[in-house]
């Protein structure tokens, strides 16, 4: 086993082809501006950012966990959460994450149909998710269960709302990436940005797994 090739999250096994048997550090100094080394460094840096984002969510999550029972005599999760809605949201985000993966494959293979089609599907599913969530929030607030009702609801809106904001930002980024590929083609730097976008989108879905399992499902589960 000579020279284990460096890879990056989302990308895959394989800097080995271009880096050959040279070490990573050496490759870095020899290829400062482009090539696989740059791609690895960019993706790794973004991976570190995503992990810090996960830590941000865990702080909101911890406050939610502490405040679940602080309902101040108001409605609990069991009274408010509607599982069919959550199931549709989950399906939207899961499918959009898979389409986002397809878009990455399309960009690597430079197949326009696969790339633009998958990105469009990702956008539609992501936008549906945000729309359903906004509707859910509006319904809760109209029913008097807004963030100011109790500590539980404050934490709930902060946690779910923060995820929703991330998805919304991701949708804007998605449109930007479609426009950039349209204007500039599948250039190396554009594909690095695409890789970061894919990492971001997949990570949002991982966070949603924690949210739907531990906020919604545990919230309505019989105790």
Partner 1 sequence: MNTSIPESHGDVAPGDELGPADVPHAIRGYLLGLALATLLTCVSFYIAQSTLVWQPSIPIALSVLALAQMGVHLVFFLHITSGPDNVNNVMALAFGLLIVMLLVFGSLWIMTHLDHNVMPMERMMRMQR
Q: Which is nearer to partner 1, 50 or 140 (CB)?
A: 50
Q: Tell me the three state secondary structure of residue 111.
A: coil
Classify residue 158 by burial, with Cβ atoms within 10 Å: 0-12, 13-18, 19+: middle
132 CB-near residues (< 8 Å, 6+ apart): 85, 88, 89, 92
- Minimum Å gap between C-beta 134 and partner 1 is 22
What's the rounded Cα separation, in Å, for the pair 8 and 3? 16
CA dihedral 207, 213, 216, 217 (to 10 degrees): 170
Q: Which is nearer to partner 1, 44 or 173 (CB)?
A: 44
Q: Which is nearer to partner 1, 116 or 141 (CB)?
A: 116
Q: Which is nearer to partner 1, 18 or 130 (CB)?
A: 18
Token pair in block for residue 60: 């909101």
DSSP assignment of 70-87: --TTS--HHHH--HHHHH
What's the rounded Cα separation, in Å, for the pair 116 and 102? 10
Residues between 138 and 177 with contacts to partner 1, criterion CB under 8 A:
none
Part of the chain binding partner 1 (CB under 8 A), chosen from 7-15, 121-129, 136-144, 152-160: 7-15
Part of the chain binding partner 1 (CB under 8 A), chosen from 56-64, 120-128, 145-153, 156-164: 56-64
Part of the chain binding partner 1 (CB under 8 A), chosen from 59-67, 129-137, 141-149, 168-176: 59-67
Dihedral angle sign, alpha carbons of residues 59, 60, 65, 67: positive
- Minimum Å gap between C-beta 216 and partner 1 is 8
Part of the chain binding partner 1 (CB under 8 A), chosen from 105-113, 128-136, 148-156, 162-170: 105-113
- Minimum Å gap between C-beta 92 and partner 1 is 12
Total number of residues binding partner 1 (CB under 8 A)?
72
Q: Which is nearer to partner 1, 41 or 130 (CB)?
A: 41
Q: Which is nearer to partner 1, 13 or 183 (CB)?
A: 13
Residues between 33 and 52 with contacts to partner 1, criterion CB under 8 A:
35-36, 39-40, 43-44, 47-48, 51-52
Task: Report how far apart, in Å, the C-alpha atoms of 70 and of each of 80, 146, 215, 217, 220 are.
Answer: 15, 14, 14, 18, 16
């Amino acid at each position: 086993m000579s020279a284990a090739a460096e890879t990056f999250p989302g990308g895959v096994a394989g800097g080995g082809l271009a880096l050959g048997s040279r070490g990573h550090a050496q490759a870095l100094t020899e290829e400062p501006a482009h090539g696989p080394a740059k791609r690895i460094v960019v993706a790794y840096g973004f991976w570190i950012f995503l992990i810090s984002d996960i830590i941000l969510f865990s702080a909101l999550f911890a406050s939610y966990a502490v405040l679940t029972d602080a309902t101040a005599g108001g409605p609990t999760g069991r009274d408010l959460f509607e599982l069919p809605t959550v199931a549709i949201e989950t399906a939207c985000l899961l499918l959009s994450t898979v389409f986002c993966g397809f878009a990455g494959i399309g960009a690597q293979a430079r197949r326009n149909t696969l790339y633009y089609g998958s990105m469009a599907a990702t956008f539609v599913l992501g936008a549906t998710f945000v729309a359903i969530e906004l509707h859910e929030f509006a319904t809760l607030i109209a029913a008097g269960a807004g963030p100011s009702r109790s500590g539980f609801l404050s934490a709930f809106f902060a946690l779910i709302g923060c995820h929703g904001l991330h998805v919304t930002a991701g949708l804007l980024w998605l449109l930007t990436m479609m426009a950039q590929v349209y204007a500039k083609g599948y250039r190396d730097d554009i594909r690095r940005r695409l890789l970061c976008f894919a990492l971001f989108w997949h990570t949002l879905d991982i966070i949603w797994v924690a949210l739907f399992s531990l906020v919604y499902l545990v919230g309505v589960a019989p105790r």
